[in-house]
Structure 1
């Protein structure tokens, strides 16, 4: 494959200019895209328009990275090889560990996929995004007169008009650093990558892993409670932004899933390990422990189904199978974040190494039960 020239820019504000300059130098990225009106009310979109307009002549793709991230020094090479495989796609290299897209990535990891199509109704994680230059130009034109200040929301609005959401890289080589937010996201607390993975593992998965395009119904957690995203939810009157508790959503999926609230409660009674549940509950309460286990039960069930459907496809990935050990490490990374991400923002700092280890062990028991549930 021929190398696709990639230009790049780092979005930043004058208060973080030094940090952004250091990041650009470390990663060999292009110039800084400074907020053109730093004394006006905060607007990530205002700076994003500068960043997406900073395409270098001759480039085929443009990468925009925000200033509050860490990434491997060979990020541009990793992105370049991913672009060679998906030259017409919008590629996202960081996904937040919470909300729907984070859960979609976690489900994809457990199914053995390396890429997943973003859900239409949610913001597009915008810490590290690469677009074909023609798409970047279309986006700047689309967004120029928007009254929205969040670039991640406008990106999703743009992709919806195209009828094709971005591809999320399931292994995350980019990590968010810090909890401060110029654009008003500090209330969301600690926000980290859903599936953090080393560059060597991620590179092979980017190039050879399969793409999960169809999510069916999607379990996710927010503020300590479990929810389900229903198929086609984006067509609802509220644009699909509403949140449906898992027990309320089950009737809509029950016929195909054979799941009822009674069945779920029976599985909790029969298979949730009491000792681990007690340990998790000691730190975060019994309600959270049960919600986390049920969420992971459904996550395991859906991941097993997605993996089975992929196995039935013939010739899905002509580039060869990815490293099974790397897939195993990806799955471990995905499950390691499910507990902390499921907590409410104010409680995430309480998830130290021991609490995270316990939640991860507890989560795996539910995921395995969910895999068995799918097969039954």
Structure 2
């Protein structure tokens, strides 16, 4: 019988947030506080992360690092232990940014019914709450110690990429980013939240039993109000972002098909309301993005043998789509979104997701 994992943990922080970090550590039952050893030298998440990873305790099989600006359930360590039991050799990520490619990938996985998804190799690996096996910790510290980069999330991806095994992302997000300030220079990204936020009770069975989406054929995502497609999964960190029209031939779909669906199935009144609030181009891009998202999620579910059902899965899907509209806006527009507008964006996205799921996921059913 495999021995039970033993997990040590650290909360990493900067002196200006020490009290906040101490409160979080007490809430989670974490005994190690990793404080920036040279806070006067300018921001460097990596410098503090190296301290945190160096706190892996003797006899531990895995080490969890949590950043100080998050909210998390008191049972986080127990959830992590269960995940480590399932995936003892993987890097495990428990928070995924809503506006990044990994966030779009998590939404796709949520709609497909998955509990975990393999991270995008071309992108940073979110490190607000990440757990590594101790043998990876040793190699990562050696690798990162030679880096001139200050963003630990970029360095972690650079470390994992050549191994051909990016981190597993927990699709239900039990860890949430709080605040908009950033010691490490990310404040310009605006409001940053989890892609698929879910409470502990619903997340627990999904993390314990949910299937793993390893790699979709292609990934629709949005950046600053514009739609893109990722069609290559080769580990090329410098690969650019392909606008969806340019990448569409890789999907087997055509603009003619999509234009036809827009004309027939897009709710005109909601499109006009979204256009008045955020611009007609954004209204077009969001609906087409969600259309492609619905098609690809349904295709992934079918390859698995059918969609996963259950109340917790439905709540996960609902929460995933609830963040789509807000996250796809330019950062400077997010704070102005009212609750009514957020609800409008969510309903608008759902209309496209359902259309894509029904009419685009199977070439034999398009029309």
TM-score bracket, shorter-length normalisation: over 0.9
| 2:302 aligned with 1:304 | no
Q: Quote the residue 1:165 is aligned against.
A: 166
Residue 231 of structure 1, CA deviation: 2.5
Residue 59 of structure 1, CA deviation: 1.0
Q: Deviations over 1:265-312 (max 9, x none)?
A: 221111110011112122111111110000000000000000000117
Q: Quote the residue 1:242 is aligned against.
A: 240
Residue 163 of structure 1, CA deviation: 1.5
Residue 173 of structure 1, CA deviation: 0.1
Q: Give SS of 1:228's match.
A: strand
| 2:335 aligned with 1:349 | yes
Give 1:1-376 correspondences, 5 Å limit.
Answer: 3-232=4-233, 234-235=235-236, 239-253=237-251, 257=252, 259-311=253-305, 324-372=310-358, 373-375=360-362, 376=365
CA contact (8 A) 1:94 1:174 kept: yes
CA contact (8 A) 2:5 2:85 kept: yes
CA contact (8 A) 2:112 2:308 kept: no
Q: Quote the residue 1:315 is aligned against.
A: none
Q: Which runs of 5+ in 1 are unaligned?
A: 313-320
Residue 2 of structure 1, CA deviation: 5.0
CA contact (8 A) 2:90 2:132 kept: yes
Q: Hey, what's the Cα distance between the residues in 2 that align with 1:241 and 1:157? A: 14
CA contact (8 A) 1:122 1:241 kept: no
Residue 332 of structure 1, CA deviation: 0.3
Residue 45 of structure 1, CA deviation: 0.4
TM-score by length of 2: 0.96
Residue 234 of structure 1, CA deviation: 3.6
Q: Which runs of 5+ in 2 are unaligned?
A: none
CA contact (8 A) 2:113 2:308 kept: no
Q: Hey, what's the Cα distance between the residues in 1 that align with 2:145 and 2:299? A: 42
Q: Hey, what's the Cα distance between the residues in 2 that align with 1:87 and 1:5? A: 11
Q: Could you tell which deviates more after superposition, 366-375 or 221-230?
A: 366-375
Q: Give SS of 1:65's match.
A: strand
Q: Hey, what's the Cα distance between the residues in 2 that align with 1:361 and 1:241? A: 33
Q: Hey, what's the Cα distance between the residues in 2 that align with 1:351 and 1:118? A: 29
Q: Deviations over 1:120-179 (max 9, x none)?
A: 010000000001111111110110010000000000000012221000000000000000
TM-score by length of 1: 0.94
Q: Quote the residue 1:318 is aligned against.
A: none
Q: Hey, what's the Cα distance between the residues in 2 that align with 1:366 and 1:328? A: 17
Q: Hey, what's the Cα distance between the residues in 2 that align with 1:148 and 1:224? A: 29
Q: Hey, what's the Cα distance between the residues in 2 that align with 1:17 and 1:303? A: 42
CA contact (8 A) 1:45 1:149 kept: yes
Q: Give SS of 2:40's match.
A: coil
Residue 46 of structure 1, CA deviation: 0.4
Q: Hey, what's the Cα distance between the residues in 2 that align with 1:347 and 1:29? A: 37
Q: Aligned pair count?
A: 361
Residue 240 of structure 1, CA deviation: 4.5
Residue 233 of structure 1, CA deviation: 5.0
